[in-house]
Structure 1
Amino acid sequence: MDPISLIIAIPDRSRRRRVVQSIGSSPHIRIMAETPDLMTTFAEVEERQPLAVLIDGSLARAPEFEVMRALFAALDVRWIVISDAPDTGSRIAASPWGRTSDLFAVAADIAAEPLIDHLRSVTRTARRNGRAEPPKAPAIPRSDEAHDRRRSKRFVLIGASTGGVDALLTVLSTFPADCPPTFIVQHTGGGFGESLTRLLDRQCQARVRPARHGDHVTHGEVVVAAGSRAHMRLAGGKPMRITLEPGTPISGHMPSVDAMFDSAIPGAKRVVAALLTGMGRDGAAGLLALRDAGATTIAQDEATSTVYGMPRAAVELGAAMHSLPLPRIGPEILRTCREAPSETNRRLATR
């Protein structure tokens, strides 16, 4: 069996070197890189695609690790956290390695031999050959004018925070390559917006790209505002144009979901808006304003939310027409986009 390709991510250089020296000479291990922080680790994992990452618990507890964890899952990379705290199996951020079966913890004082055995065990079912690039759908040819007229006139708004990376992957995985224009605000740490966008683009049929000031967004395109110091607002036009506006946080965040939702009120009758898992209240007031102006609005339900904060606030305000489990949100968005507003109103009235 080939040796396990491994990246070691530990901020403290002395500690990192001790781990490298203790396991680096093993014929079962091939150390591909040593990294001191999350940004460097993400870049190395994305480029080298190791079988496993040995990561310090302090890095794994950072909020930005959510983006990296989704990358690991997409690439079938196992990760092992060096933990000074016991694994509680909790869903909270203090113990992220207790959430799912692809995450593993080892004690900080583990010896070299049991650590190597553990690495061999958890990577046994991981990919062993080639790069784990999922196939992208073939590009849809440029539509003719008649097809353009048959396209939905609606557009999609999505807001998310804690747990939102996995939620976005679930929703966007249902979108076809020629999906309605889609605009996303995801709360994440500074500098991780580009990484998140690349991750979503790798996993989705539609083209996913970062929000840029003045860009126009049309069918088959998803734009993401994340980790930036500006609010994304919709500025109208055909196709829809976006602006990025510096300022102060709204609802405690920048970019803010409320800012995006509020900017879409003039076109609310064409809007399908969803508020996904997240801490706090960002997006709830904006979702209510959109609903009052004629938009179709959706909130993720409590059972499937990592943190039922933002969706709960929306439900309590009466902002959500639907409270849906995560797997149903993508199909509901697409079904609504295929309907004329009058058809949606009739369908809701019969429920």
Structure 2
Amino acid sequence: MPIKVLVVDDSALIRQLLSEIINNEADMLLVGAAPDAFVAKKMVQEFKPNVITLDIEMPKVDGLRFLEVMMKACPTPVVMVSTLTEKGADATLRSLELGAVDFVPKPKLGVAQGMEEYRSVITEKIRMAAHSTLSVPTQSRASQHAAMRYTGSEKVIGMGASTGGTEAIKDVLMHFPKNAPATVITQHMPPGFTTTYARRLNILCEIEVSEAKGGERLLPGHAYLAPGDKHLVVERSGADYRIALSDAPRESGHKPSVDVLFNSLAANAGANAVGVLLTGMGRDGANGLLQMKQQGATTFCQDEKSCVVFGMPKVAIELNAASYVTPLASLADAILDTLESIGVGTRL
């Protein structure tokens, strides 16, 4: 059966462009193109689309309000169409909190160059959304680790994610106590969005969260997020670990790449590291997680049921790169239990 797609956008030009892209895909069926939330609501009820592309900025009722109401009344995978601005980044992250699966930037109309790449990106995300598992918004819950007994600076947690990862990472970090080990994170996200995302996490979490600038010494109680256009690498500096940012080419199809982060932890932290691979499309991070495990690190993969997209963890599990496969709801405590009890975990 073809993937039934509904396009919701107040721009006639964008509706036309997205409609043409969808109509040219053999496995997709455009069921409608709505100019506003009111028309979209009727089309959702009538056509029951498998995937909706949704503009954030619309008149009358904006995309966020429509998304919030729809996810309660008729949960449907949604790919947001967002402007690549600070305001757009904040709204996009809010849409992911409300249950949207992923987002794409608005196409640059009249720019022929790059349109084929845009066509490839948005159709891939529609297909991914059609087979995704809708996430449940993060519920506030107390971690059993009000404060860790462990306070050393020699341990480091590496975390990687892609589609669905903004909420999964938030879920884990929100349950880390103030003196949790230093955490380094790579999330597939464009430049600018990582700045806004780090700021939002910092407000929500007990630990300090910031976008990495390069040169920082890793400190307990801090998390460092790779910028959207640089690889994050952890280097050894005497008894300390420091962050370096790399402008090297894409690795595993991505920049920043989880494999680059995990490979640096395998080489420079070994058994003092914990690797965590969360929801995401593709295989980035799987080989790096295997390298970490082979160097003595304890490694975790998010389980299939709690993943929005069981891609990256699935490949890692197939490679035997995971020491543990754990549901998202218990992942933070599982990581901290491992660090508190025996430092680097029990091997499988």
Aligned twin of 2:94: 71
Equivalent position of 1:286 in the other structure: 288
In the alignment, structure 2 segments of 5+ residues that lack a partner are 1-8, 16-34, 38-54, 68-76, 100-125, 141-145
**Structure 2 Cα separation of the partners of residues 168 and 330 of structure 1:** 10
Deviation readout 1:225-263 (Å, 9 max, x if unpaired)? 1422x2110012344210001011001100110101111
- Mapped partners of 1:165, 1:70: distance in 2: 8
SS at match of 1:307: coil
Measure, in 1, the Cα distance between the counterparts of 2:313 and 2:165: 12
> TM-score when scaled to structure 2?
0.62
Q: How does 1:262-341 map to 2 (within 5 A)?
A: 262-265=263-266, 266-341=268-343
Would you say the 8 A contact 1:61–1:95 is kept in 2?
A: no
Match of 1:216, SS state, is coil
Q: Structure 1's 95 and 274: CA in aligned 2 closer, same or farther, altered over 3 A?
A: closer
Deviation of 1:341 (Å): 3.9
SS at match of 2:184: strand
Change (3 A) 1:100 1:326: closer
Amino acid at match of 2:256: P
Asked if 2 retains the 8 angstrom alpha-carbon contact of 1:61 and 1:93, the reply is: no
- Alignment partner, residue 256 of structure 1: 257
Q: In the superposition, relative to structure 1, how do residues 66 and 277 fare at CA in structure 2: closer, same or farther (>3 Å)?
A: farther
Q: Could you say which residue in structure 2 is the equivalent of 1:163?
A: 164
Q: Give me the identity figure in percent.
A: 33
Do the aligned partners of residues 262 and 201 (structure 1) sit closer, same or farther apart at CA in structure 2, a change above 3 Å counting?
Answer: same
Note if contact 1:63-1:189 (Cα within 8 Å) is conserved in structure 2.
no
- Give the whole-Å Cα distance in 2 for the aligned partners of 1:184 and 1:234: 11
Q: 1:101 to 1:204 in 2, by over 3 A?
A: closer
Residue 216 of structure 1, CA deviation: 1.6
Secondary structure at 1:328 match in 2: helix
Q: Is the 1:157–1:272 contact (alpha carbons within 8 Å) kept by the matching residues of 2?
A: yes
Q: 1:155, 1:197 → 2: CA distance?
A: 18
Bigger-Rg structure (1/2): 1
Superposition pairs of residues 131-146 of structure 1, within 5 angstroms? none
Q: Distance in 2 between matches of 1:300 and 1:95?
A: 17
SS at 1:222 equivalent: strand
Tell which deviates more after alignment, 161-170 or 61-70: 61-70
- Counterpart of 2:231, as a letter, is H
Cα distance in 2 for partners of 1:308, 1:332 equals 20
Residues in 2 aligned to 1:299 and 1:100: alpha-carbon distance in whole angstroms: 17
CA distance in 2, matches of 1:289, 1:95: 29
Q: What SS class does the counterpart of residue 191 from structure 2 fall into?
A: coil
Give the paired residue count.
255
